[in-house]
Structure 1
Amino acid sequence: MFEVLRVRNYRLVATAELLSSLGDWLLLVAAPYFVLRLTGSTLATGLSLAAETVPALLLGPVAGVFADRWDRRRTMLTVDLSRAAVVALMLLVHHPDQVWLIYVALIGEASLGQFFGPARRALVPALVGRGPQLAAANSFFALVAGTVRLVGGPLGGALYALVGFAPVVSLDATSYLASALLITTIRHRPEPASRPHRKDTTVLRRFASDLRDGTMHLLTAPGLPAVLAAASVFFLGNAALTALLVPYTGTLLRAGAGTLGLLFAALGAGYLAGAPLSRATAAHLSDRTVMISSLAGLSVVFAVTFNIRNLAWALVLFVLIGPPGVCFLVTVDTYLARCTPDALLGRVSSAYGMLQAAATLAGMLCGAVLGQRAGISITADLAALCVAIAAVAALRVPRPTTPDGRDTGDPSIPAPPDRSADR
């Protein structure tokens, strides 16, 4: 997995991702606490968390189109600089009647992130190719995500308690500036990916045409509808379980916020372990096999975990959630990239993100309502069943066709040239 770091341009992108993601997680913890201290309102605190989820639903299609039209490196650079400026707005908040600035900053940061994500995911195959190194690159991104998940939340809470809100905001803004600086040193300059349009067409029609091209690819490319269906059902069940975490900790485990932090740490440790495992499974198993087995294993772990009332066993099971979860998510990312032409990657990545956001929102609402009416254990069992259904949906992914049993994606997509000069 670490061999992919020999590709200089990818190494810069991965480091930029680490820095900006760490800053995000620091603020993810500090901002709600700061709002709660200023206002004393749980509703205001909840709004600060919800502010970062709405842009994915509203801007997903728009962001994907422009990620394919614009130079992806330049898009990432512009977004990072803009996010640093938007986050800095929170430094102006000192009184309860200024809390609206925090909402504006959080929504602005999340909205800009909708352009950064598809551009980054579309750029990576151009840097490392669509062969084995693509799976390695996605596995390393999972390692980065697991590391940030493990240390970002606790570190943000500790820094907020020690030095206050303003230094945490400054650190987040600085992380974006550092990420932008790294992106400026990337040597790769991708060609504009969007196809030419007739000059007599309007901007709206060109946009609609681009959006239609991406949608048709998602609906017709072999395997993609099945993969997206399986992923959507998985996110639905996973989000329902996420909504149960607090009542599960307080009711079944009879513990408090400190225990919830331990469970998140255990989950982060599982994510770290899952990153190299995802690389190993990609090297020996087909994408279809990894997706089916990961989802089936997750459904079992979920069903057992949320019926356990012993903290020690719960910690072990939360660690076990990470590896199959990472294997599934990394495999989906790799499959989407291999089955999508470069000119459509931004739109496909953005659509995938929008589906994830919609399924997550629906799952959290369903989990909260059912947990209240049917109980935690029954709701958790239904969510685990949902993940098992996702495994069944993955059975519709086409079988590998190569002699060695490996998935190759869309054979019409040419492999990019060797970029040994960047190594």
Structure 2
Amino acid sequence: MFKNRYVRTILLSRVLLQLGIWIRNFAILLYISDITHNNPQYLSLISIVETAPIFIFAFIGGTFADRWQPKRTMVWSDLLSAATVFLVLLTLLSGSWYALLIGTFISASLSQFSQPSAMKLYKKNVPAEHLQGVMAMSQSLVAIFMVLGPVMGTFIYLNYGVEASLILTGVMFFGSSIVLMFLPKDEMEEAASGAPHFLKELKAGLHYVYTNRALRTLSLTFGVTGLAAGLIQPLALFIAVEKLELSKQSLQWFLMANGAAMLIGGTVIMGIAKKVNPQVLLATGLLVSAVCTIGVGASTLVSVTLILQIVSGLFYPCIHVGIQTLIMRNTEGPFIGRVGGAITPIFMGMMLVGMSFSGYLKDMTSLLTVYVLSGALLIAGVVLLNPLLGRNQQKANQQAM
């Protein structure tokens, strides 16, 4: 896989982007926390400006990604992100910190145009048998920065301040755009930016997802998985404080163990990518996550909870890699941006719905009940996968004959 020029270049670009994003996010979080004295309303705005672009621009960005030349789209997105960071820095030096939120929103919005373009290049230039391995590498990269990102971001901010953090962020974004310039030139047939009827293309993307049985199934599974994740995400702190009777600070160790396990899991998947069907990978990940989720909600022992977090982290990449691979394999090249832009917001939307109700459900029932409900939803996701699992079994029987 690393012999593929597209894979090497895009992954290196993503390393620089992840560095910039984590440095920026923690600099903003800690800086606003300092100057507002931990005002929860201002701190909540950070999450809003980071996630809102997914709802607003994911499908629009995916549609444009299908129309525009992918290399040029990615290069310009990163260049504009870098320019935005330096403009925010100038505004911050003049005394206005609100520009931090605006700059984050713009940068997150630009990524909704860049990410589908990367998927488009993978779809066109990576052999089908290697797609699952490439998705595993991408997941491993995310896991690495889930572990290292908070540490690096916090260290840079505490030692050098918000200005240095923003300068480094801008340099990383600019460096990513330079790396992407080494990609081969876009083919002329991919330049569809002049095509008319943008709204028709957008509607065609939605119709494509609706009429594709595999994509419909994945959308439902993704939605249920997002709801399950949202129900328990705000309650992780209560597991540490109420169930295990630990301090708030102890939560970071569970998160780091989970992130490290995700890295190992992604590495293992890279090694077995050609041997395991993505449907089976996804179903396995959902089932193991369901068992671990219920176990965490029931456990009162630190050792048991830690082991369950590690096991959950090991198998979480199965979910991400399985879904991404199935999307890539069941989507035609001209629709890859719109399909990704349509399905990703489903997960985020349902996750926010779950987060909105998790606190109320905990108060009305119990912490264990919410975790059991989350586990049950993950099992429901496996049930929804039956059409794809059945098709996989049918193909296996045909090959055996």
Kindly state the Cα deviation for residue 193 of structure 1 after the two structures are TM-superposed. Answer: 4.2
Q: Per residue, is there more helix in 1 or in 2?
A: 2
Say if 2:130 and 2:273, in contact at 8 Å, map to a contact too. no
Kindly state the Cα deviation for residue 195 of structure 1 after the two structures are TM-superposed. Answer: 7.0
Residue 369 to residue 110, structure 1, CA distance change in 2 (3 Å)? farther
Kindly state the Cα deviation for residue 46 of structure 1 after the two structures are TM-superposed. Answer: 1.3
Aligned equivalent of 2:22:
25
Residue 116 to residue 163, structure 1, CA distance change in 2 (3 Å)? same
Aligned equivalent of 1:81:
79
Say if 2:279 and 2:326, in contact at 8 Å, map to a contact too. no
Residue 256 to residue 157, structure 1, CA distance change in 2 (3 Å)? farther
Residue of structure 1 aligned with 2:114, choices 113, 116, 129: 116
Say if 1:278 and 1:323, in contact at 8 Å, map to a contact too. no
Residue 194 to residue 386, structure 1, CA distance change in 2 (3 Å)? farther
Aligned equivalent of 2:42:
44
1:166 aligns with 2:177: no
Residue 240 to residue 273, structure 1, CA distance change in 2 (3 Å)? same
- 5 Å matches for 1:135-150? 135-150=132-147
Residue of structure 2 aligned with 1:63, choices 61, 64, 73: 61
> How far apart, in 2, do the equivalents of 1:332 and 1:252 lie?
32
Say if 1:127 and 1:188, in contact at 8 Å, map to a contact too. no
Aligned equivalent of 1:393:
384
> How far apart, in 1, do the equivalents of 2:193 and 2:172 lie?
36
- Residue deviations 1:17-73, cap 9 Å, x none? 111012212222221111011122221111122211111111122111100000011
1:306 aligns with 2:297: yes
- Residue deviations 1:285-338, cap 9 Å, x none? 322222222211110011101222333332222111122211111111111111
In the alignment, structure 1 segments of 5+ residues that lack a partner are 407-423
Amino acid at match of 2:68: W
Kindly state the Cα deviation for residue 90 of structure 1 after the two structures are TM-superposed. Answer: 3.7
SS at match of 1:164: helix
Kindly state the Cα deviation for residue 258 of structure 1 after the two structures are TM-superposed. Answer: 2.9
> How far apart, in 2, do the equivalents of 1:207 and 1:261 lie?
45
Aligned equivalent of 2:178:
181
- 5 Å matches for 1:279-358? 279-358=270-349
Residue 312 to residue 78, structure 1, CA distance change in 2 (3 Å)? same
Aligned equivalent of 2:100:
102
Aligned equivalent of 2:130:
133
RMSD (Å) for aligned C-alpha atoms: 2.2
Residue 104 to residue 142, structure 1, CA distance change in 2 (3 Å)? same
In the alignment, structure 2 segments of 5+ residues that lack a partner are none
SS at match of 2:299: coil
Say if 1:292 and 1:395, in contact at 8 Å, map to a contact too. no
Kindly state the Cα deviation for residue 273 of structure 1 after the two structures are TM-superposed. Answer: 1.3
1:208 aligns with 2:199: yes
Residue 189 to residue 150, structure 1, CA distance change in 2 (3 Å)? same
Aligned equivalent of 1:8:
5
SS at match of 1:290: helix
- Residue deviations 1:263-295, cap 9 Å, x none? 121111111111133234532232222222221
Name whichever of 306-315 and 322-331 sits farther off: 306-315
Name whichever of 389-398 and 134-143 sits farther off: 389-398
Q: How many equivalent residue pairs?
A: 396
SS at match of 2:208: helix
Amino acid at match of 1:178: G
Amino acid at match of 2:176: S
Aligned equivalent of 1:380:
371
Residue 90 to residue 373, structure 1, CA distance change in 2 (3 Å)? farther
Residue of structure 2 aligned with 1:228, choices 213, 219, 232: 219
> How far apart, in 2, do the equivalents of 1:306 and 1:124 lie?
39
Kindly state the Cα deviation for residue 339 of structure 1 after the two structures are TM-superposed. Answer: 1.0
Residue 85 to residue 366, structure 1, CA distance change in 2 (3 Å)? same
Say if 2:68 and 2:193, in contact at 8 Å, map to a contact too. no
The sequence identity of aligned pairs, in percent, is: 20
> How far apart, in 2, do the equivalents of 1:44 and 1:180 lie?
31
Name whichever of 386-395 and 362-371 sits farther off: 362-371
- Residue deviations 1:179-221, cap 9 Å, x none? 11100001152444487998xxxx5xx1221012211211112
Say if 2:278 and 2:321, in contact at 8 Å, map to a contact too. no
Residue 19 to residue 45, structure 1, CA distance change in 2 (3 Å)? same
Residue of structure 1 aligned with 2:354, choices 348, 353, 363: 363
Say if 1:273 and 1:323, in contact at 8 Å, map to a contact too. yes
